[in-house]
Amino acid sequence: MAVFAFSVAPMTAGESVAEQVAEAVRIVRESGLPNRTTSMFTEIEGEWDEVMPVVRRATEAVARGGHRVSLVLKADIRPGAPAGQIDSKIARVEERLAADQSETGHS
């Protein structure tokens, strides 16, 4: 199991890349794998062999306009970890922050 964060965008599409990025995000969402998109990255969770084809299809979709493509990929690979790490990693940090607040009395 792994959580991958990636950013894919055309390098020569002008000021806005929203249309191309939206197509990449659509492909990720249609994969059925757990995912989320923020202003900088799309995260997707699954096994290596199921995630990488999705990243490839998203990259190819961005490249269809004949653009040079930039792809940034980061992975947290956790053999044997249970599914749900895309959410539980955040939950653990939030729990720690809440515990820190209760220990110091800050709200």
Write down the pTM of the prediction: 0.85
The per-residue pLDDT for 14 is: 65
Confidence of residue 13 (pLDDT cuts 50, 70, 90): low
How does pLDDT run across 20-77, given as a tens digit for each residue?
A: 889 999 999 999 999 999 999 999 999 999 999 999 999 999 998 777 899 999 999 9
Alpha carbon distance 76, 103 (integer Å): 30
Domains, the chain, ranges and CATH?
A: 2-81 (3.30.70.930)
The more confident residue out of 100 and 34 is 34
